[in-house]
Structure 1
Amino acid sequence: MTEKLTHFNEQGRAHMVDVTQKQATRREATAYAQIVMRAETMALIREGKMKKGDVLAVAQVAGIMAAKKTPEIIPMCHPLPLTKVDVRFEEGAVTGEEALLDLYATVATTYQTGVEMEALTAVTAAALTIYDMCKAADKGMTIREVRLEEKTGGKSGDFRREGGQ
């Protein structure tokens, strides 16, 4: 399978893809990330005892803001009229001294191009915000598994990661 990379022009130089002729349709994408931390750190988050404030509330807002700012940090992304940004968290397993926190970001628009990058940017910014707010208690946290879980709409069709969340 040989597919042409769309972000390069005939001269092999980067360019923003022209989506003028594409039909505006509803598009949605969900991205995932996971943070591994000490169980004590998760308890501080859950109990609202982190000195910088409500960690998950701040991370949620950071994710939403990041989705809206994606074209400012990813050079070839189109500025999109986002119609939905939802960032949510689920506590995962606690194994011995480690706890897992699962993060999800779902972004939607009705436009000519998709929102995968906005969802990935949102979930990553939320994870980085959690790290920033908790690093005084746990510098050993690990952000991992950043990935697209699913997307719907658009010319390329739907995608759902097998074995996804």
Structure 2
Amino acid sequence: MNEFWGWGEREGERRRRVLWAWCGRRSKNPRSGDGGSTLPTPLALRHPPPLGLCHLLSRYLDKHISVTMVIVRSMLLRSMRAHYSLGRRFVSNDGYDHAITELNKMESIFGEAPSRGAFTPSASKEPQLGSPSVKSQPKLTHVDSSGQATMVDISSKEDTKRVAIANCRVLLGPKVFNLVSSNQIAKGDVLNVAKIAGINGAKQTSSLIPLCHNISLTHIRVDLTLNKEEFSVEIEGEATTTGKTGVEMEALTAVAVAGLTVYDMCKAASKDICITEVQLKHKSGGKSGEWSRKQ
């Protein structure tokens, strides 16, 4: 019984005591008007729960109530309660007033029905109906409808000025940083050699990346700066053109090749050098317009 109504052992015992005490209470009988017991104690004691509850409900609702009716109506009560807030009484405007009145009477005797989760496992929750929001998914431009790699046709695009800026960081460590800053690396001037390598790398981007267009660059800038606090080399590259497609890959290739050149020239002094944070910083021009990385 406790499991059926969702009561704990202590709460179930308390409610049983109240129920049996109520059964023996003297009150006015609305049917006979004789002021006798609504349900005499001997009658209640002769019928243990849930049969005793049926006799109690029969007198209270003035109609015969079977065990099956109690179970079915309690299940209906729980089902209807799932669609309303727990603190709100049932109301109806569509012809079911009588049934809802009886359910409210049952609720006044047994209290509020336990939550739906007390009888059904969490895995069997009803799905929420509703139209899902449809969002446009980004598509890969270098893959055709059959899933094959392809070079994008840009012949229909208009020529616009396009600029891209990328950056990169090379972590040297204290020992190698001191050698680079004092120009004591055996291979020569690390920063100048890496700068030239970055410029050459930007011009060779279409040869290194197979689906990248061969772009006529109008400007390439590669700057390398020593960072004493991080014992690193900060690299920034910029590529500019006036054409039909962007120059993001050219800027990224410039800083990546410059970083690799720093590593190559310093690897004899340390193998712990790390090239990190190769990323696009800013771009402008073209259909997507201007974009900058958030700090």
- What's the TM-score once normalised by structure 2's chain length? 0.53
Give the one of 143, 146, 159 matched to 1:24.
159
For 1:2-17, what aligned pairs fall within 5 Å after superposition?
Answer: 2-17=137-152
- Do 1:89 and 1:103's aligned partners in 2 also have CA atoms closer than 8 Å? yes
Counterpart of 1:90 in 2: which secondary structure?
Answer: strand
2:222 partner amino acid? V
Match of 1:122 in 2: 254
Report the structure, 1 or 2, having the larger strand content: 1
Structure 1 residues 94-122: Cα deviation after superposition (integer angstroms, max 9, x where no partner): 25xxx122110101111100000011111
* Cα deviation, residue 10, structure 1: 2.2
User: d(CA) in 2 for partners of 1:145 and 1:22?
Assistant: 32
User: d(CA) in 2 for partners of 1:138 and 1:22?
Assistant: 48
For 1:150-161, what aligned pairs fall within 5 Å after superposition?
Answer: 150-161=282-293
1:156 partner amino acid? S
Give the one of 199, 215, 222 matched to 1:87.
222
- Do 2:181 and 2:226's aligned partners in 1 also have CA atoms closer than 8 Å? no
Structure 2: segments with no counterpart, 5+ residues = 1-135
User: d(CA) in 2 for partners of 1:9 and 1:38?
Assistant: 45
Structure 1 residues 75-106: Cα deviation after superposition (integer angstroms, max 9, x where no partner): 110000001111101222425xxx12211010
User: d(CA) in 1 for partners of 2:146 and 2:218?
Assistant: 36
Percentage identity across paired residues of the two chains: 44
Structure 1 residues 106-156: Cα deviation after superposition (integer angstroms, max 9, x where no partner): 011111000000111110000000000000112100111110001011111
Are residue 147 (structure 1) and residue 282 (structure 2) matched? no
- Do 1:108 and 1:115's aligned partners in 2 also have CA atoms closer than 8 Å? yes
1:86 partner amino acid? R
Choose 1 or 2 for highest CA Rg: 2
1:24 partner amino acid? D
- Do 1:39 and 1:94's aligned partners in 2 also have CA atoms closer than 8 Å? no
Counterpart of 1:77 in 2: which secondary structure?
Answer: coil
Higher RCO (C-alpha 8 Å, min separation 6): 1
Match of 1:103 in 2: 235
Counterpart of 2:218 in 1: which secondary structure?
Answer: strand
Structure 1: segments with no counterpart, 5+ residues = none
User: d(CA) in 1 for partners of 2:219 and 2:270?
Assistant: 32
Counterpart of 2:220 in 1: which secondary structure?
Answer: strand
Counterpart of 2:153 in 1: which secondary structure?
Answer: coil
Are residue 55 (structure 1) and residue 190 (structure 2) matched? yes
1:120 partner amino acid? L
Match of 2:209 in 1: 74
- What's the TM-score once normalised by structure 1's chain length? 0.93
Structure 1 residues 59-84: Cα deviation after superposition (integer angstroms, max 9, x where no partner): 00110000000011111100000011
Are residue 45 (structure 1) and residue 180 (structure 2) matched? yes
User: d(CA) in 1 for partners of 2:181 and 2:226?
Assistant: 9
Count of residue pairs brought into register by the alignment: 160
Report the structure, 1 or 2, having the larger helix content: 2
* Cα deviation, residue 40, structure 1: 2.3
